[in-house]
Amino acid sequence: MIRIPLYRALFCTAVCRPCWSIVALLLALAGNPAFADGDLTTKFSNQNSVGNTRHNLTQRQASGGGPVGVIMDPYRNDYGQICVYCHTPHNANAAVSAPLWNRNIPNTTYRTYDQVDTNTLTQTVYQPGAASLTCLSCHDGQQAVDAVMKMPGPGRYSATPDNAFLNTWRNPSGTGPFTHMRLAQGECLACHSSTAGFLGAGATDFSVFVIGTDLTNDHPVGVTFPTSDAGGDWKMPGGSKTTNGLVTKYFDENNNGRMDKGEIRLYDSGHGPSVECASCHDPHGVAPNGSSTFNPTFLRKSNTASAVCLTCHTK
């Protein structure tokens, strides 16, 4: 009897009769796409630490429990460290203005919001700045989620981490990845989507997190913020921070003169204060005052009663 691991049968690139016979049998037994679980409640607690959020790409909660990371070991490197998927203390990417960044930034021209809104958009839109490109380095689906430039340990560096480089890592579980999945259709979404059928059983739908390179169906990023409220539609940020000649504006809601994690901000990438992904989202999680539970979807503040929107907009 030929024994082929299920994950190899499902993602094998060679069209061989044993593999696809197994796949056909499994799908026949599954019957219909109802086996996909869709938007499941996260098993992470979303409390206290980024280790307890979905941005812990080891898929092991820092406090124990939660998803069984070894299930993902065939599809991504488990570096055994949470921060390394984005940051590195050595050999950081100096081409992007982000703290100790550990991912390559693809040379991509994104389709921006001004290409669909030519009537109501009053501000200039540029290509995304660093505070968006860091997020897009995973969420645009062009690179594998484990595609770091500097893996833990001596050596293990590549400015353009391809599969050959990533394959040099060995997972602690002993299960080595034979493919490195991107946050894209047919890869992570082969299981993590509401249409995944049998393969999606027990897998949360990640479709909403797949931004892609077409940014026209999301809030504009790279869009400059008005310098005055001439039309009565805007609220002006009261805080200001200058770094290397670039002025970041922020809504200093507690009037302490500091740009706190829970405050919406406008990043300057050379065109003046602009809306970027990190204007409204903090990838490490932000808990409201008096709470240990982070706001959903890594928002800087709760969007109850559209509070995030109304920070900038007067409606």
pLDDT given for residue 37 in this prediction: 66
pLDDT tens sequence across 52-83? 999 999 988 877 676 778 889 999 999 999 99
- Chain centroid, CA 196 distance in Å: 21
H helix or E strand, kind and range, residue 241:
strand 239-243
Looking at the chain, the whole-number percentage of residues with pLDDT higher than 90 is 70
pLDDT given for residue 226 in this prediction: 95
pLDDT given for residue 36 in this prediction: 56
* Mean confidence (pLDDT) of the chain: 87
Q: 178: burial class by Cβ within 10 Å (0-12, 13-18, 19+)?
A: middle
What three-state secondary structure class fits 10? helix
Looking at the chain, the whole-number percentage of residues with pLDDT higher than 70 is 87
pLDDT given for residue 200 in this prediction: 85
Task: Retrieve residue 66's tokens.
Answer: 């939660």
At 124, the pLDDT band (50, 70, 90 cuts) reads very high
Name the residue ranges covered by the structural domains of the chain.
1-31, 33-102+141-209, 225-312
At 178, the pLDDT band (50, 70, 90 cuts) reads confident
At 6, the pLDDT band (50, 70, 90 cuts) reads very low
Per-residue b or e along 118-151, where b marks 16 or more CB atoms closer than 10 Å to that residue's CB: eeeeeeebbebbbbbbbbbbbbbbbbbbbbbbbb
* Residues 6 or more apart in contact with residue 164 via CB below 8 angstroms: none
Half-sphere exposure of 105 (CA within 13 A, CB side): 18
Predicted TM-score (pTM) of this structure? 0.86
Residue 152 has pLDDT above 70, yes or no: yes
Task: Give the closest residue to 159 by CA, choosing from 206, 229, 107.
Answer: 107
Residue 27 has pLDDT above 50, yes or no: no
Rounded to whole angstroms, the Cα distance separating 315 from 311 reads 10
pLDDT tens sequence across 232-290? 899 999 999 999 999 999 999 999 999 999 999 999 999 999 999 999 999 999 999 88
What three-state secondary structure class fits 240? strand
